[in-house]
Amino acid sequence: MNHPFRGWLQERRVSRLDVNQGLDDEETVDVSECSNCEDFTEHKILRRVKKGEGEDLLIQCVDCNEVQTLHLRPGKAINITSILSDGAESQTQSVESDDDELITVGDVFDHNGTLYRVTRIDDSDTRPKQTMLAREISTLWAVRCDNCKVRLTMTDGEESRSRTIECSPDEVFSCGTIMGNRRGTMENSCPPYWKRKNPSRQADSYRA
124 and 170 together in one domain = no
Q: Which structural domain, as residue segments, surrounds residue 93?
A: 77-144
Q: Where are the beta strands (DSSP E) in the chain?
A: 5-6, 9-18, 23-34, 39-51, 54-61, 67-72, 77-86, 89-98, 102-104, 108-111, 114-122, 128-129, 131-133, 139-144, 148-156, 159-167, 172-174, 200-202
38 and 90 together in one domain = no
82 and 127 together in one domain = yes
User: pTM of the prediction?
Assistant: 0.53
Q: pLDDT tens digits, residue range 130-142?
A: 999 999 999 999 9
87 and 135 together in one domain = yes
126 and 179 together in one domain = no
Q: pLDDT tens digits, residue range 15-58?
A: 544 444 444 556 678 888 888 998 889 999 999 999 888 899 99
Q: Which of 48, 72, 96 is the last residue of a domain?
A: 72
Query: For residue 178, what is the DSSP state?
Result: B
85 and 138 together in one domain = yes
Q: pLDDT tens digits, residue range 74-113?
A: 778 999 999 999 878 999 999 999 888 889 999 999 999 8
Domains: count for the chain: 3
